[in-house]
Amino acid sequence: MNKYRKVVSLLVVLVMVFVAFSGCNSVQPSSEQSVSESQQAEVSQSETASEASVSAVDETSLEYFTSKIEPLSETVHLNVGACAGILHDLPAYIAYSSGLLEKMGIECEMVYFNNGPMMAEAMKAGSVDCGGYGLGGLLYGSVQDIASIIHIRANEAIVQKYFAKNDSDLAQSGLNAATGFYGTAEDWAGKQVYCPPGTTLQYLLGKMMGKLDMTFEDIDPVYMDAPNVNTALYAGQGEVWGLWNLYGYATEVQENYTELANGETMGLKFYCGSVASNLALEDPVKKEAISKWLECELAIIEWMNASPDNKKAAADSYYQWCEEQGIAAEPDVIANYVNEFNFFSLEDNYTLLSDKTADGNLLAEDGVLSAMEFFIEQGNYTEEDKAKITDGNFTNEFIVEIMDRWGVSH
Amino acid sequence: MKDNTRTPSKGRQRLKSAMYTLLPLITIVVFILIWALLNITGAVDDAKVPPPWEVFKAFIFKLSNTGPDGALLITNVLASLQVTLTGLVLAIGIGVPLGVIMGWYRLFDKFIRPLFEILRPIPPVAWIPLMILWAGVGLGAKSLIIFISAFVPCVINSYTGVRQTNPTLINVAKTFGAKDFYIFINIGIPSAVPMIFAGMRVSFSSAWATLVAAEMLAASSGLGYMINMARNFGRIDVVVLGMLCIGILGTIFNWLFGRLEKLVLKGRAV
């Protein structure tokens, strides 16, 4: 009997050790592969297209925009960071889900994070090679010298929003012509506002208060992570909620809540960018692969901007991605967001990453410095940190390289 | 005749006593020295593991500055203590009576145990979304997260304490005609007091360790909030400072609990 018990105990230990080791992985769990059948078919068509059919290729098709990209000479593995369901990640996601990256010799593993600073931390640790994040990440990554900003994806101010219930006094007060958003100082005084700290939403709220000659002390800000703000909204906790784009897609929000303000109506710049880990850039093989990854992303952006049908197809991909990630969304709402959102072109990027302001800063740097000023006022960053923003973290090297490959003059 | 035994024995005792007092301090000093050496020699990256002097500078900075999280260090400490002690008092107030009743009344134990065993392994962090829905985002919700963490050791230790009541004492009481409830109150519960105190100490450690998770729910101050905010702005020195504050305060409270326990249990036979 004792012998039997020993054998069973040993088996249990072996099973536990096996499970523990098989569960261990140096890389974050990867996403499920989402493949848009029509897009994958378009990409694979280029493998079998004859010369005659190439000349007849639709100039708005995905194949047309991706055919100019030369694949890598050998397959390279890249860990690509993303925030699941975030709109500015859409071109990078389509490049991945359509099989384009694989075709170009990039073995891509998508690694998801809740926000940019977390992704930057992972880059610092060498777990992520490249990715994209918004203003919070751009500031963090620059101050900590973790990643180089190789591409400015968009100004995502339009998808940074504050909501209140339709029957709230703020929603009922209507649009304030003087400020461009709902409510007067009296309407906002004492309101419990939920927002994620250290983010574009906090910056937006600060600017809104500034326009009303108010400060955070005149309202009741409650700081919590973005997913918790979303939960609080559904729980009916609070009076005003700051939500990033993906949290505003649900029917519940669209029907029962009023958008009080967004970053675009406030005239703010919330740049989001594609970034490359400085650690990864030390490896020439990875650097080349990251350049190829960016090239694929830019090709997708060109494809999206080529026609309304392409934007619709991109919106369908986006909806599929949200479904897979469990993000509550309606197709019509998604389509509106994708239509409103403007990704910067290759030429826009050359301008942003090459041209300078009167102060000698790059236009892209200038776009994040005003947010930096806000966070310095809040005590989150220092003047020394601000100096690091203009310390060579933004580079046009990759954009120039791609322009040369595509024969675009600069 | 000369007495040679007194002085060397007392001297050795004093030396031993001094060693016992100094040894913990020496351990801390050695740890800090090793930490500093790792940074000085470059064995660890300063950006990933800030040197001890950077953490000390952050401590001095936080005494009078609110950056990067918006509150002074003392404000954060007091806010965290408020959340933790509220949750702990709730856990002790509910967990200890529940544990002793479960330990004494088998029927009640059988009734409650399955639910308790299912809820026990659920980590406090997993409760955050539900807490927001049920209790909002104020002190109540955060204290409930702490409560969940601190509740389990209170129940288990109180239960075990009652179950370990000396059967001889119970039998003697029965011999003298004592009723079951009387025995429970006058023998069962007093017997369980050492274990109850042990449970309270473990509960406090558990509660204090859950602080960072609780303050992720929503906060504008607190050590956990300070750590989360510092993380968002790359202030690893403040993150380490927050962790050290949690560790040191936990040690202080553990010592206080120990003193309280000695006071309450003074004169009890082992």
Longest Cα separation, chain A: 86
Closest CB from B69, B129, B229 relative to A231: B129
Taking only the tens of pLDDT, chain A with its 410 residues reads 577 788 888 888 888 877 766 655 444 434 333 434 445 544 444 444 444 444 566 888 888 999 999 999 999 999 999 988 899 999 999 999 999 999 999 999 999 998 888 899 999 999 999 999 999 899 999 999 999 999 999 999 988 999 999 999 999 999 999 999 999 999 999 999 999 887 889 999 999 999 999 999 999 988 888 888 888 888 888 899 999 877 777 778 888 999 999 999 888 999 999 999 999 999 999 999 999 999 999 999 999 999 999 999 999 999 999 988 888 888 888 998 899 899 999 999 999 999 999 989 999 998 899 899 999 988 899 999 999 998 889 999 999 999 999 999 98
In the chain, the amino acid numbered A59 is E
Contact A324, A312 (CB under 8 A): no
Q: For helices B139-163 and B73-104, give the axis angle rounded to 10 degrees.
A: 40
Token pair of A379, please? 């005590």
Chain B residues within an 8 Å CB radius of A216: none
Whether B216 sits inside 8 A of A228 (CB atoms) is yes
For testing the chain B interface, which of A237, A240, A241, A382 should be mutated: the one with the most B CBs within 10 Å?
A237
Chain B residues within an 8 Å CB radius of A197: 229, 232
> B205-249 pLDDT, tens per residue?
899 888 888 887 777 789 998 998 898 888 999 999 999 999 999
Per DSSP, the three-state class of A176 is strand
Name the average pLDDT for chain B. 89
A362 bridge partner residues: A356
Q: Helices (DSSP H) in A307-361: which residue ranges?
A: 308-324, 331-340, 346-354
Alpha-carbon distance of A224 to A199, in angstroms, equals 11
Whether B233 sits inside 8 A of A238 (CB atoms) is no
For testing the chain A interface, which of B65, B131, B133, B137 should be mutated: the one with the most A CBs within 10 Å?
B137
- B201–chain A nearest CA distance, Å: 30
Higher pLDDT, B185 or B21: B185
Residues in chain B whose Cβ is within 8 Å of chain A: 47-48, 65-70, 128-129, 132-133, 136-137, 216-220, 225, 229, 231-234
Alpha-carbon distance of A238 to A226, in angstroms, equals 14
Contact A211, A228 (CB under 8 A): no
Whether A222 sits inside 8 A of B218 (CB atoms) is yes
Using a CB–CB cutoff of 8 Å, tell me whether A115 touches chain B.
Answer: yes
φ/ψ of residue A258, rounded to 5 = -105, 135
Whether A117 sits inside 8 A of B217 (CB atoms) is no
Whether B232 sits inside 8 A of A232 (CB atoms) is no
- A263–chain B nearest CA distance, Å: 21
Which of A137-141, B35-39, B259-263 is predicted least confidently?
B259-263
Of B112, B53, B13, B81, the residue nearest B249 (C-alpha): B81
Closest CB from B48, B129, B232 relative to A117: B232
* DSSP secondary structure of B37-69: HHHHTTSS-TTTS--HHHHHHHHHHHHH--TTT
Using a CB–CB cutoff of 8 Å, tell me whether A127 touches chain B.
Answer: no
Whether B68 sits inside 8 A of A124 (CB atoms) is no
For testing the chain A interface, which of B233, B237, B239 should be mutated: the one with the most A CBs within 10 Å?
B233
Contact B137, A237 (CB under 8 A): yes
- Cβ within 8 Å of B, A 226-285: 228, 231-232, 234-235, 237-238
pLDDT at B201 over 70: yes
Q: Which residue of B has its CA nearest to A233?
A: B133
Closest CB from A237, A378, A379 relative to B136: A237
For testing the chain A interface, which of B49, B75, B132 should be mutated: the one with the most A CBs within 10 Å?
B132
Helix (H) or strand (E) holding B218: none
For testing the chain A interface, which of B232, B235, B236, B239 should be mutated: the one with the most A CBs within 10 Å?
B232
CA atoms within 13 A on the CB side of B266: 5
pLDDT at B165 over 50: yes
Alpha-carbon distance of B115 to A257, in angstroms, equals 39
- What pLDDT does A11 receive? 85
Strands A160-165 and A257-262 come out as antiparallel
Look-up: residue for tokens 């949290």?
Answer: A247
Q: Which residue of B has its CA nearest to A144?
A: B234
A vs B: CB pairs below 8 A: 78
Closest CB from A115, A144, A223 relative to B218: A223
Whether A124 sits inside 8 A of B217 (CB atoms) is no
Contact A109, A60 (CB under 8 A): no
Going edge to edge, which strands form the sheet with A130-133?
A106-112, A76-82, A130-133, A271-277, A147-155
Whether A121 sits inside 8 A of B48 (CB atoms) is no
Chain B residues within an 8 Å CB radius of A224: 137, 216-219
Chain B residues within an 8 Å CB radius of A136: 232
- What pLDDT does A81 receive? 96
- What pLDDT does A5 receive? 81
What is the model's pTM? 0.81
Closest CB from A231, A381, A382 relative to B132: A231
pLDDT at B266 over 80: no
